[in-house]
Structure 1
Amino acid sequence: MELKGFEFVIGSMVTLRELETHPGFCVYTKGAARDSVKDIVGVQFRNLATVGGSLYGRFGFSDVLTFFLALDTQVELYHAGRVSLEEFSGMPKDRDILVRVIVKKHSLACTYLAHRNTRTDFPVLACALSVDEREGKIVVGARPSKAVMWKMTSEEAKKLREGKLTDGEKEAMFERVSGETVLGSNMRASREYREHLLGVLMERGLDALNQEAQGGEQA
């Protein structure tokens, strides 16, 4: 895993533990990279599980897919070349090989939140939020289908960058995302419980980004 120009290049065999402890990437993501993997089973498992394997499977419970969708992420495939992670997540599974993951650097603020019934269990619901100089994203994972990404309006992203997002605008954003996100039930949680969690996680994430922007302005 290395920084090349304005891109983080992450080989497919980089482990989740390396992702969790990489100082440059953790600083860039404001600790969200660490937060996205720190509760995946245990350190021994994260020393073996890889970033490439986590993304290639496109699992519904994947913290890693949810987190990387919130960034400006591409995957490089042996045959198909570079494609955006959003496009890759919707592609049918085939026998192509995921070679590496590329994350483009921007002036980024992001956060990752998830709820688990027990600390090292699969997430009941996960939510990653990000905003940079181009756009804002909200990603909902473990719904229990694979993660989906929604983009903020240009006005919402602008206000969030400036730390001026109002409670009414947060509520409107939640109503739009919840109305367009299909949530389901499984052995871990009901659809109704996930709907409640989505509101909680989105509010916490938006508040964190709003407050971070306000702190940056004051500094």
Structure 2
Amino acid sequence: MFTLKDLAQPGTLDEAYQILVADRSNVLLGGCAYLRLGSLKINTAIDLSKINLDYIVELADYIEIGAMTTFRDIETSPLLNAYFCGVLPKAVSNVVGVQFRNVVTVGASVYAKYGFSDLITALLALDTEVELYNGGRMSLEDFLDKPFPRDILVKLFIKKTMRLAAYQSLRNSAGDFPLLNAAASKLGDEWRIVVGARPLRAGIAYKASKFLTENSFNNEQMDAAARIASEELSFGSNMRGTAEYRKAMCRVLVKRAVTEVVQCK
């Protein structure tokens, strides 16, 4: 259980940012679900609930999601269920339980770059950008690949395209964190394959994606793409599974995700 000395509830992002950078032991609060698993000592905890960042709105070219939006909001959103074959609601629907999903926030989960994240894997399969208060707007891929100074993740932008997408995960039990997860998407002839919980954070399988994009599509090519993905990405071991098992299951999940995309309308 974490402990805190003081609680701040700023009314603006600028005020929140100034408090955050004033002391390295100051921490932004999301849903606090993962903070409770540790023993962090916080000087000032910053609650963003008064800045109105809990929303999902449709813009002309993008879907915008505020950082304080919960996983349950994602799961039950008619808008997100209508786009990309409902991949985002599906990705978060098995995260622990409804009570947990009611408090876990999008911003905290993405900013923390959790390796086990179901949401990040699905978002990477789409055309997703993040907006940081100080760092500005960039692709999710760039954000995940580069270290950034302390900042506030304000919102996500997902480009509205006809991209078809699917998500698959493997868990030791219902409600557990994923042992491995995968997502696949297709826009026109271009494929994208993503694998996460390796237990490293999600990454795009570029070679496998390129192979599917450039070759005629059939069962043999799906098998080949899944094998390429398992060979180009790295896997590790932890209490949930070994690297060897994850590598073997990568081929299974990738093929399932690709198959689901083909069947999606």
What is the TM-score when the length of structure 2 is the normalising length? 0.75
Aligned partners of 2:179 and 2:199 also within 8 Å: yes
Residue aligned with 1:31, SS: helix
- C-alpha separation between the residues in 2 aligned to 1:156 and 1:87? 23
**Corresponding residue of 2:79:** 24
Partner of 1:92: 147
Deviations 1:139-176 (A, max 9, x none): 100000111112422x73377xxxx6212211221222
Paired residues in the alignment total: 208
2:232 maps to which of 158, 165, 180: 180
Flag the structure with more relative contact order, 1 or 2, with Cα contacts below 8 A and sequence separation at least 6: 1
Is 1:148 the counterpart of 2:203? The answer is yes
One-letter amino acid of the counterpart of residue 91, structure 1: K
Q: Please give the secondary structure, in 2, of the residue aligned with 1:143.
A: coil
Contact 2:58 2:64 in 1 (8 A): yes
- 1:136 alignment partner in structure 2: 191
> Is the 1:3–1:9 Cα contact (8 Å) retained in structure 2?
yes
Paired residues for 1:93-132 under 5 Å: 93-132=148-187
Distance 1:129 1:53 in 2: 24
Q: Percent identity?
A: 40
Distance 2:122 2:185 in 1: 10
- Tell me how large the CA RMSD over aligned residues is: 1.6
* C-alpha distance in 2 between matches for 1:17 and 1:158: 38
Bigger mean CA offset, 172-181 vs 16-25: 172-181
Moved over 4 A (4+): none
Judge conservation of contact 2:64–2:157 (CA < 8 Å) in 1. Answer: yes
| Residues 167-176 or 62-71, more deviating | 167-176
1:54 to 72, 95, 109: 109
Structure 1 unaligned blocks of 5 or more: none
Counterpart selection for 2:213 from 136, 157, 177: 157
1:35 to 76, 90, 96: 90
Contact 1:75–1:100 (8 Å) recurs in 2: yes
> Which residue number in structure 1 is paired with residue 255 of structure 2?
203
With structure 1 as the length reference, what TM-score do the two structures score?
A: 0.90
Measure how far apart 1:133 and its partner are: 2.9
The amino acid that maps onto 1:74 is E
* Pairing 1:74–2:129 present: yes
Of 77-86 and 29-38, more deviation after overlay is shown by 29-38
Larger Rg computed on CA atoms: 2
User: In 1, are the aligned partners of 2:169 and 2:180 still within 8 Å (CA)?
Assistant: yes
1:124: Cα distance to partner? 0.3
Closer, same or farther: CA 13–49 of 1 in aligned 2, 3 Å: same
- C-alpha separation between the residues in 1 aligned to 2:223 and 2:101? 36
